[in-house]
Amino acid sequence: MKRLVRALLGAILLTAVASCDRYGAHAMVIRANYNVSRGDYQNAIVDYLRAAEVMEYEPWLSYNLGNVYHSLGESQAALEMWDLAQTVEVNDLLFGAAFNRGVYYFEQGDFERASAQFRFALRIDGADLAAKRNLELSLEKLRAEGDLTAGGAESEQRVQASGSGGRIIDYIRRKEEQRWRSNATRAPEPGVRDW
């Protein structure tokens, strides 16, 4: 009996939330996110677009749409959506769009653009390890391309012009080592337990 009452109350609450435009849009975003997690990209796109008609969070929805388009292999549409997501000064959106663009360019073999996007992402969040790793991989790919060309001089000049790739990686490693050392020397706070 309790389950039936809870289910009925849940259905009433969901209906009430979905009936209001603003809250209905939030429900559409939740449903779209759920569809993305299941791989149902077409229904996710429909829900994101419907929510965008009602909500004022267009940059966030554009970012999500860009991710869905990228998953579908619609690269130009994904890039356009990520550009729209960067129209506001919200660090999460700026970082996410730059990071995803970097991944896209890396997948396409455009390692110069990929490294530029990862650098931009690291300017926003310098502690993100995935961006650091991807920047390092992009720079290694640029060096490898240079080794395949005649003497590698041309590619080495590109890497040096784009910010001396090896020095950046060394700098990042030194900063991470300093952070780890400073964290290792701190005494644990009383009352905090490791489980």
pTM: 0.61
Judge whether 41 and 72 are in contact, CB under 8 Å.
Answer: yes
- The pLDDT assigned to 75 comes to 83
- The pLDDT assigned to 148 comes to 64
Which residue type does 75 have? S
The per-residue pLDDT string of the chain (195 residues; one tens digit each, 9 = 90 and over) reads 556 546 544 545 455 444 445 556 778 788 887 877 878 888 888 887 888 777 677 788 888 888 888 888 888 888 888 888 878 888 888 899 999 999 999 999 999 999 999 999 999 998 899 999 999 999 998 888 876 664 545 545 555 555 555 667 766 777 777 777 766 665 556 555 555
- The pLDDT assigned to 191 comes to 57
Place of tokens 């929510």: 51
Residues 6+ apart with CB under 8 A from 77: 65, 66, 69
- The pLDDT assigned to 136 comes to 92
